[in-house]
Amino acid sequence: MTDHEENPAAVSLPDTQTSATHAADALLEHLADRLGGSASVTAVYGEPVTADGVTVIPVARVAFGLGAGAGRDGAGGDREGGGGGGGADARPVGYIEISNGVATYRPIRRTWTDVAVPLAALVLGAALPKVVRMLRRRR
C-alpha cells in the first residue's frame, strides 16, 4: 500500500525536490485539486426530492479556503519549514419549493444564531478590554 492509499491527503515529492517551498506549493495544489473537485452544483443545490406533487431542492452556502506556508533559514543551519491546509464548510440556507408550476425560494431562518451570536460577539468585544485592564491592575 502506498503512502497515498493510506492517507489520501499525502503528497509524494521526488527526493530532489524536498525544499519547504516546493512541499508547501505541492500540498496547496493537491488540496485545491481535491477541494475543487467537490465544488459542483450539487454541493450547493442538493438532489431534488419529490412527494405529493411538490418538489423540494435544498440550497446550501459552500465555502472553501486554502493556505500554505514555507520557510528557510540557511544562515545558521539547514533549517526548513512548510505547511499548508484547507477546508470546506457547507451550511443549509433554504430550499426551493416547486408546486403547481411555481418555484418559491424559502430561506431557513435561524433567529437565535442570526441575532444572538453577533450580539454576544459585540458585547464580548466591548467588555474584553475592560476585563483585561482590570486583570492587569490586580497584578
117 with 96, same domain? no
Cell triple for 107: 430561506
Instruction: Determine what percent of the chain is predicted with pLDDT higher than 90.
Output: 14
Shared domain for 78 and 137, answered yes or no, is: no
Q: Are residues 89 and 34 in the same domain?
A: yes
CA distance readout (Å), 17 to 13, 54, 66, 102:
6, 57, 22, 58
Q: Is residue 68 located within the same domain as residue 129?
A: no
Residues 29 and 58 in one domain: yes
Q: Which three cell numbers stand for residue 50?
A: 419529490
pLDDT in tens, 4-49: 455 455 555 444 444 556 666 776 677 677 766 666 666 667 788 9
Q: What is the mean pLDDT of residues 75-90?
A: 73
* CA-wise closest residue to 99 among 45, 55, 49: 55
Global pTM reads 0.46
Domain that holds residue 126: 109-139
Q: What confidence score (pLDDT) does residue 2 get?
A: 46
Q: How many domains does the chain have?
A: 2
